[in-house]
Structure 1
Amino acid sequence: MTDNTEELKAKIRALKEKLSVTVVAHFYQRDEVFDMGDITGDSLELAKKTMADDSEFVVFCGVGFMGQSVKVLSPEKRVVMPKIACCAMARMIDSLYFDESVKKMEEAGIAETNILPITYINSNADVKAKVGKMGGMVCTSSNAKTIIETALEEGKKILFVPDRCLGQNIANMMGLKSAVIGIDDNLSDADIICYDGFCSVHQLFSVDDIRFYRKKYPGILIAVHPECDPAIVAEADFTGSTSQLIKYIAELPEDQKVAVGTEFNLVNRLRPKNTYVLSSTKPECPTMNETTLEDLYNTLKSIDEGEPINEIHVDEETRKWAKVALDRMMAL
């Protein structure tokens, strides 16, 4: 830890004491930024906890769709971000691509009235709004199975965007048939029809990595995030969201070795012993790592000077329908 880092941390703490601000940090943030968070967690935890916070400003250290979600759920709050970093998965789909996906399903013989869309929380507000308008809802990796089970009760085809891997993994878990738009031909035969999006970080893990660790450490457990490819999930001992992975690993015996398939910063903060990164390369999210301690300090300083930078705004029509989709998730 450099003197400059400690100096910046001291300045940040002083500004936090002075201002009506709450610093929110996602689990994938750099350690020094994560340490400054008043509220930390995964997407669902942050959405819930931030709604209950009464500070005037939310300083969100994460990626753009997360800041948008806070603004959608709590429009009275002023949401600023040290860096409006764009999640690569969220960027893979927008409202136009969403409309094209619906059209592809219609061309496959599925009427629009028989489509129920679900969007992973890793999507921008315009996509959440489209989903809300069509009667759909948002999900996270921790509640996707519950959301899909509830949605299927309506007897409709599920359009799952944007993460094909999460959609396919939930389908496999439930014994349902999935298909990917643009890859699979028989969309009408599938229960869950997935958009062809993915997390670039979670694509870094391979079955060869799993086999390497199993050979090197007999008895090792493999724990992965459901954004991983279905072939990885099929070989793993445990699959769960960020919070579920943390809980699972914390409850393991101290001498139990485990290799974890998710973002490096999170894995690096888990148990100090017998925990390994399931990859031959460093699985670090480039956009989550854009935010620096200096960015956080400059953002707090801008609030103190009365000219907040990187404030998040969502137009009222988009906010209204995106909130409908988010509220349906929260109700469950």
Structure 2
Amino acid sequence: MNILDLVKKENTVLPARYREMSTTEMKSRVIAIKEKLGEDLFIPGHHYQKDEVIEFADATGDSLQLAQAAGSTTASYIVFCGVHFMAETADILTNENQVVVLPDMRAGCSMADMADIHQTERAWEKLQKVFGDTMLPLTYVNSTAAIKAFCGERGGATVTSSNAHKMVEWAFTEKERILFLPDQHLGRNTAFDLGIPLEEMAVWNPITDELEFEGDPSTVKVILWKGHCSVHEKFTVENIKELRKTVPDMNIIVHPECTREVVELSDQAGSTKYIIETIEKAPAGSKWAIGTEMNLVNRIIQQHPDKEIVSLNPNMCPCLTMNRIDLPHLLWALESIEDGNVINRITVEEDVAKNAIYALEKMLANA
């Protein structure tokens, strides 16, 4: 079941009274419910969330950090402030007595939606006719539970931007080539860093059901799914050229979901965790342009007034789907738990979860 089906299935309309409440009143209610539920409640918050949500998070982090946190918590209720695939991962890694809630069911991920299970199964069948039993599937955690299960069932694994290098290296000890879903840019940048030339990478187009590659297919080592992050693709070569011209001593650091051209022209590239830690360690007075989600960039700016920090793209907007979750939706979710009428529960079917956990456990073992 995809995110659109879930939205149709659930009552996702925020009751009007939450829009009529003051911020002060909502915050007071959130604090009161957190105190009441105590250790029975755990709120993980992704770095890209709004400040009004992050201030109530019990743990903040990137996808890998939050997957680890979800797998280790004993709380009865996990109110996941992130997007749908993250809440699915939490449900997979927790036990059947733990309840995972997504405050707003519309909080999806456009990248995850670029690879559905039907497209993937069809692609695998066609690619096997070309490459035989020489491929191992890897999927970025920014994917549906069904895609994770697909990879787990075939001996593959999930990856995050934090451990992509380790996981791709591991994959090549298992098979001759990999199929990397659903973000072509993370796959391309990771493989390139590990010494695989661009000439040995092909792209699978799920819309046309074709392999985009000129040359002998036997030379292909990496098959990249034609998907992308709508946020990180908005950082451009032109952004970098303009910055080099106007502020030549500015350090440029970007996320590996950016295009190969942008990563190549930047000074550094790495996961969300890597970006945060690099800025933390940087000397006072240093200058940084960051190519990642705007909520996080603004938070980093606030946390480091001793440094000059800007977004690599001055016209950048926050991740629209991450921003679906706000203080009113968070309070709605918490009050539903308090009232015993839980809304927006995320559950992954048992057979899907069983295979998905194989893929996730391989990733967590290499964390």
Report TM bin, short chain. Answer: over 0.9
Determine if contact 1:167/1:178 at 8 Å carries over to the other structure: no
Instruction: Kindly report the root-mean-square deviation, in angstroms, between the aligned alpha carbons of the 2 structures.
Output: 1.4
Partner of 1:13: 31
Q: Unmatched 5+ residue regions in structure 2? A: 1-20, 206-211
Partner of 1:278: 312
CA distance in 2, matches of 1:134, 1:329: 15
- Residue 219 (structure 2) pairs with residue 197 (structure 1): no
User: 1:28-67 residue pairs with structure 2 within 5 A?
Assistant: 28-67=48-87
Partner of 1:73: 93
- Residue 330 (structure 2) pairs with residue 296 (structure 1): yes
Find the residue that maps to 2:166 and give its secondary structure.
helix
Instruction: Pick from 114, 117, 121 the counterpart of residue 95 of structure 1.
Output: 117
Letter in 2 for 1:5: T
Partner of 1:207: 237
Find the residue that maps to 2:234 and give its secondary structure.
coil
Determine if contact 1:179/1:194 at 8 Å carries over to the other structure: yes
Deviations 1:52-88 (A, max 9, x none): 2121000001100000001111133210010121100
Instruction: Pick from 262, 284, 288 the counterpart of residue 232 of structure 1.
Output: 262
CA distance in 2, matches of 1:92, 1:34: 28
Deviations 1:82-110 (A, max 9, x none): 01211000011111111122133224x20
CA distance in 2, matches of 1:91, 1:259: 29
Deviates more, 1:249-258 or 1:139-148: 249-258
Determine if contact 2:136/2:175 at 8 Å carries over to the other structure: no
Q: How many corresponding residue pairs?
A: 329
CA distance in 2, matches of 1:263, 1:78: 29
Q: CA deviation at 1:282?
A: 1.7
Instruction: Pick from 251, 274, 278 the counterpart of residue 244 of structure 1.
Output: 274
Q: Unmatched 5+ residue regions in structure 1? A: none
Deviations 1:230-272 (A, max 9, x none): 0000001110000110001111111110100000000101123
- Residue 343 (structure 2) pairs with residue 309 (structure 1): yes
Deviations 1:184-240 (A, max 9, x none): 244432211110000000010111111111221121110000000000000011100
CA distance in 2, matches of 1:315, 1:284: 32
Runs of 4+ off more than 3 Å: 185-188
CA distance in 2, matches of 1:279, 1:126: 34
Find the residue that maps to 2:64 and give its secondary structure.
helix
